[in-house]
Amino acid sequence: MKKLTIIGGGPAGYAAALYANNFDLEVTLVESDILGGTCLNRGCIPAKYWLHLAELNHEINNASDYGIQVETSEIDWNKSALKRQDIISGLVNGIGMLLKSKKVNVINGWGKIENEQSVLVKKEDGSEISIESDYILLATGSKPRELPSLQFDNEFIISSDSALNWEQPPKNVCIVGAGAIGCEFASALIDLGSNVTVVELEKEILPGLDKRTSGELRKQLTKRGVSFKMGTSIDSVADKEVLLSDGEKENFDTILVAIGRSPLTENIGLEDISVTTKNGYIDVNLETMQVIGTKNVFAAGDIISNSPQLAHVAFAEAMSAVTYIATGNPSPINYSAIPYVVYTNPELAEVGLNSDKAKLEEIDINQAQHSFAGIGRAMIQNQNQGLVKVYAQKDGPLVGASICGPSAGEMIHELMYMVGWEALPDEAAEFIHAHPTLSEAVGESLLSLNGKGLH
């Protein structure tokens, strides 16, 4: 039986360990902290908990629209924090039990490559063990990126790691960065009663995503009270006073820096196998996930170059690496049809190309859009703002879609299949969407793409 050692027990590492059970592989997983990595402990799950709490609060405070009279909501922050921790613990324990049931040898400690077939593990008590194996998979993930002028002090200038651990959010928050993490915090905090200012260097939020749908999200968050300072940065911070590049001065309780994440590739022994990194990222062959310049070392998840830092991508890359290790056959993932979801209220979801990306790739496209304004189900839910946009190559298949609206993160998946399977617009438009559903907006946008819009 071949042996595989995995360093890191986040989505990439634990998915690889679980998936290896489908093959003839003996697996050791080394994790220095808590199983589940960023995703379960300080990323996807706690962030979505805060967003759900905020949405619930917003719904309750707006129930009078439907004739339901409720006193203003009051949150028991301690109880809410306990529920959040309960969900996280349940998931972390579940991963531990799954790994046990699949006979994965889990070791707690810091893993470091000694050579292509050996990993040295330093345990918390200072003892060390060497694990020999045929293959190594690196899945050490990432950490919040710092700005040299705004270094984390975990009190006033903080990262998402600290913010997700708040029992109660602060009253006045400045968020630096309007990427997915910054926007999700803005959406949650505004619906939980904080004053929120977002400072972003670019002209539009969610750089890289469709400008029309991102603009719609910005408009809706602005309406609810978020103050966006676009094309702006922080010049200086003195005590709790922040000087912005537009000359304005404001006082905040907290500055939350959300400008992206840096790969964790230091002190894991890359120099011992002569692997160099680019800005900390590891280059891999995306067909096999093999680290360039090595034979037996693979990598997956947030640490690799040219791949989005997303949990579901980490899962897929891990499975791709394990398949190649076990069978010798490449099983590459389809990077052109990866769904990307921003879990704000309303959600924004995208797959494949948008007009800017198509322009960059010099692909001529046709596009169509349909608004949620007249979608009955969206009106019932009081969420009939937003739109669906679809893109097809001129005389060719669907190549992308972007949605800003209720449940966009669920709806994007039907468009993911269409883009992944390269459906032609007239084939895609043949399918009937149930009435009344939010997905009717997708059906209508596909009809419009064929020049045969109904409503």
Q: Mind telling me the catalytic residues?
A: 435
Which CB, 73 or 162, lies closer to ligand FAD? 162
**By CB under 6 A, is residue 268 in contact with ligand FAD?**
yes
Q: Which stretch binds ligand FAD (CB under 6 A): 33-41, 84-92, 216-224, 291-299?
A: 33-41
User: Hey, which residues between 351 and 370 contact ligand FAD (CB under 6 A)?
Assistant: none
For 243, the token pair is 């000087």
> Out of 28, 160, 294, 439, which residue is the one contacting ligand FAD (CB under 6 A)?
160
CA distances from 121 to 29, 92, 127, 265 (A): 11, 22, 8, 16
Name the residue among 46, 140, 139 with its Cα closest to residue 84.
46
Contacts of 424 (CB under 8 A, 6+ apart): 392, 396, 397, 398
Which CB, 347 or 444, lies closer to ligand FAD? 347
Which CB, 339 or 405, lies closer to ligand FAD? 339
Which CB, 57 or 160, lies closer to ligand FAD? 160
Sheet of 284-285, strand order: 105-108, 25-31, 2-7, 135-138, 297-299, 290-291, 284-285
Which CB, 264 or 449, lies closer to ligand FAD? 264
CA distances from 368 to 351, 362, 387, 451 (A): 15, 19, 10, 9
Q: Which stretch binds ligand FAD (CB under 6 A): 38-46, 281-289, 364-372, 439-447?
A: 38-46
**By CB under 6 A, is residue 400 in contact with ligand FAD?**
no
**By CB under 6 A, is residue 33 in contact with ligand FAD?**
yes
**By CB under 6 A, is residue 39 in contact with ligand FAD?**
yes
Q: Enumerate long-range contacts of 416-421, CB under 8 Å, 24 or more apart.
A: 416/337, 416/338, 416/339, 416/351, 419/336, 419/337, 419/351, 419/352, 420/334, 420/336, 420/337
Q: How far is the CB of 224 from ligand FAD (least distance, A)?
A: 20
Which CB, 37 or 352, lies closer to ligand FAD? 37
CA 70 to chain centre: 35
Q: How far is the CB of 308 from ligand FAD (least distance, A)?
A: 8
Q: How far is the CB of 297 from ligand FAD (least distance, A)?
A: 14
**By CB under 6 A, is residue 301 in contact with ligand FAD?**
yes
Measure the CA–CA gap between 356 and 78, rounded to whole angstroms.
Answer: 45
> Out of 232, 288, 309, 320, which residue is the one contacting ligand FAD (CB under 6 A)?
309
**By CB under 6 A, is residue 140 in contact with ligand FAD?**
yes
> Out of 139, 199, 326, 447, which residue is the one contacting ligand FAD (CB under 6 A)?
139
> Out of 4, 5, 6, 7, which residue is the one contacting ligand FAD (CB under 6 A)?
7
**By CB under 6 A, is residue 54 in contact with ligand FAD?**
no
DSSP 333-390: --GGG--EEE-SSSEEEEEE--HHHHHHTT--EEEEEEESTT-HHHHHTT----EEEE
Which CB, 51 or 429, lies closer to ligand FAD? 51
User: Hey, which residues between 183 and 242 contact ligand FAD (CB under 6 A)?
Assistant: none
For 207, the 3-state DSSP assignment is coil
Name the residue among 73, 49, 66, 70 with its Cα closest to residue 381.
66
Provide the total of helices (H) and of strands (E) in the chain, helices listed first.
Answer: 13, 25
Interaction site with ligand FAD (CB under 6 A): 7-13, 30-33, 37-39, 43-44, 47, 110-111, 139-142, 160, 181, 264, 268, 301-302, 309-312, 314, 343
